[in-house]
Amino acid sequence: MRSKLDQRDRIITILGKWLWVLILLPFLAGIGTYLVLAQETTLYQGTTRLLVGPGIDFPNPDLNDLRAGAQLMNTYAELPKTRPFLERVIDRSNSDMGYEELVEQLDIRTNEETQILNISVSHEQPVQALNIANVIGQELVKLSPSESLEASVQTRKQVIEQISELENSAVQIEASIDELKAAFENEVDAAAQRLLLDQLTSERNRLSDNDRTLALMYETAQQVTTNQVKIVEPARRAVPVDNQALLKIMIGVLTGFVLSAVMLIVYEYVWATVSTGKEMSQATDAPFLGVIRRGGEKADQSLTVRDLPDSASAEDFRNLGVRLMRSADGRARSGSILVSHLGAQTNAGTFVANLGFVLSQMGHRVVLVDANLHHPSLGALFGLSDATGLTHLLNDPNANLDLTPIEVNQGLSVLPSGSVANDSFKLLASGRMTQIMQQLTNQADVVLIAGSPLATEADSLLLSSKVDGVLIPVISGKNRPDAVKQVVADLRAVGAQIIGLLLSQPTANDR
């Protein structure tokens, strides 16, 4: 749970740090989208509306007719997208568009409830948009049996007239039958009754034939042609196509924001390095002691405090010396201090030499120890031989602890590393190293130990549990925040006392 909260806080911190980027990039993305849209040519759209299925000329279609009409609508909606159909349309309309372009600018929408088929065409020229839309509608009408519709309507009118005549005839026949029935009832002569009965039978046969004919006429009148396409509203006015500029600009802004947020988070997690004191404090809760300015590659390999006493770097070391020698409770600090960088970019020997020089100038007895047994540097800084030193003492339990005093600064002594050791971890972990540390702290106020890189070698992590405190210089622009945080966590895991972290930055002339 704690890890998730830390990750969330870090992401919030990253976004807050780069807030100006999160504002600027989406703004530029929106401007870019607007400029691209401004270069687009305005399109105009013309729409033809067609009626598919049983039309208004047949007002009483049944459910099956309507279902058939809905199926036909889908068929007629697909026909205009076919290549042969559109090639005929292009020829008839004298359009400058090709098949692929016309397909992209063609929009067909169906409405099965109203049986209305909407065909829209977009074009840079309004007249062309109207012309092509109307030609498509006309071609669809040609493909359907709708051209014989007028004849069908005329035939239906004739059938309706015949139905009216048959209905009138039925009324007359029924009246004649009623008269014959009355006359038959009143007639007493047998011969006359037979004649009337024959007439009555004949009229009834006429009525039956009339009813059958009338039924056929009703059926004919009610038949509906479902496969019909009729233009109900040709394209007459072309309207500008809405390019949804506002929506596209908003999408551009949102895309710019998301991409910049993702890139910044990836950058911070993958490539970002600690370059300011604020970032150092955000990376870890260990004490931050300040900034040490350095004067370039040559200055990093020399005693700046001695050779360039008026430099900014020398002044930073003096300020650090004053702060360092006062513990949190206000008392003078003493004991052993391990100084180790995170990586191999800079050797801790130069840092230890400059800090030790300042502390000896303040009147403290200082011993400098080079415990970087793989890459020693203190001996070279003071012009001392590495023939004998720490490794010699560690390998020989009977060897005497002989420190080399630095004549230019009273109170300052150096213990070089000695010969390069392949088994440095074993030597530093030995009880002999603990004895040497005890002897050194008895002879000096402060023992400054230059260690190997904390992030790459285990030697310094081992030594951190044997000293009174650890000082960690972090190189600006070289160390990642998570690497700093991990080193601090590793030191605390072995019980090391972290005095604080420093940020080593190049001077303005050296960047």
pLDDT at 398 (0 to 100): 83
**What is the phi-psi region of residue 435: left when phi exceeds 0, alpha when psi lies from -120 to 50, beta otherwise?**
alpha
- What are the tokens at 176? 């004649």
In whole angstroms, give the CA distance from residue 442 to residue 433.
14
248 close to 37: Cβ distance less than 8 angstroms: yes
Name which of 20-34, 334-348, 396-410, 459-473 the model is least confident about.
396-410
Which DSSP helix (H) or strand (E) runs through 353?
A: helix 348-361
Binned at pLDDT 50, 70 and 90, residue 62 comes out as low
474-503 average pLDDT score: 86
11-40 average pLDDT score: 82
pLDDT at 328 (0 to 100): 52
Comparing CA positions, the residue from 296, 265, 287, 290 lying closest to residue 277 is 290
Q: Which residues contact 259 (CB under 8 A, 6 or more apart)?
A: 25
3-state secondary structure string across 36-65? HHHHCCCCEEEEEEEEECCCCCCCCCCHHH
352 close to 448: Cβ distance less than 8 angstroms: yes
Question: Strands 412-415 and 106-111: what pairing?
Answer: unpaired
Tell me the range of 43-57, 229-243, 317-331 where mean pLDDT is highest: 229-243
> Is pLDDT at 148 greater than 60 in this prediction?
no
pLDDT digits (tens, 9 = 90+) for 183-210: 888 887 888 888 888 888 888 888 888 8
> Is pLDDT at 484 greater than 90 in this prediction?
no
> Is pLDDT at 1 greater than 50 in this prediction?
no
> Is pLDDT at 145 greater than 50 in this prediction?
yes
Which DSSP helix (H) or strand (E) runs through 474?
A: strand 469-475
> Is pLDDT at 70 greater than 80 in this prediction?
no
Q: What single-letter amino acid sits at 464?
A: S
> Is pLDDT at 496 greater than 70 in this prediction?
yes
Q: Which residues contact 489 (CB under 8 A, 6 or more apart)?
A: none
29-35 average pLDDT score: 88
In whole angstroms, give the CA distance from residue 275 to residue 141.
75
Residues in the chain: 511
> Is pLDDT at 485 greater than 50 in this prediction?
yes
**Between 320 and 269, where is the model more confident?**
320
pLDDT digits (tens, 9 = 90+) for 399-452: 888 788 876 667 899 999 888 777 888 988 898 999 999 999 998 999 999 999
Phi, psi (rounded to 5 degrees) for 465: -85, -10
- What are the tokens at 38? 């401004």
> Is pLDDT at 291 greater than 50 in this prediction?
yes
Name which of 8-17, 111-120, 135-144, 280-289 the model is least confident about.
8-17
489-509 average pLDDT score: 84
> Is pLDDT at 41 greater than 70 in this prediction?
yes
Binned at pLDDT 50, 70 and 90, residue 217 comes out as confident
Query: Chain-wide mean pLDDT for the chain?
Result: 81
**Between 268 and 373, where is the model more confident?**
373
224 close to 58: Cβ distance less than 8 angstroms: yes
pTM for the full predicted model: 0.55
3-state secondary structure string across 258-273? HHHHHHHHHHHHHCCC
pLDDT at 63 (0 to 100): 55
pLDDT at 511 (0 to 100): 42
Q: What is the dihedral of CA 79, 81, 83, 86, to 10 degrees?
A: 90
In whole angstroms, give the CA distance from residue 355 to residue 371.
16
Comparing CA positions, the residue from 436, 432, 448 lying closest to residue 334 is 448
pLDDT at 131 (0 to 100): 92
Task: Express as a percent the part of the chain with pLDDT over 90.
Answer: 16
pLDDT at 180 (0 to 100): 85
Tell me the CA distances in angstroms from 289 to 192, 226, 322, one per residue in order. 143, 90, 11
pLDDT at 359 (0 to 100): 92
> Is pLDDT at 4 greater than 60 in this prediction?
no
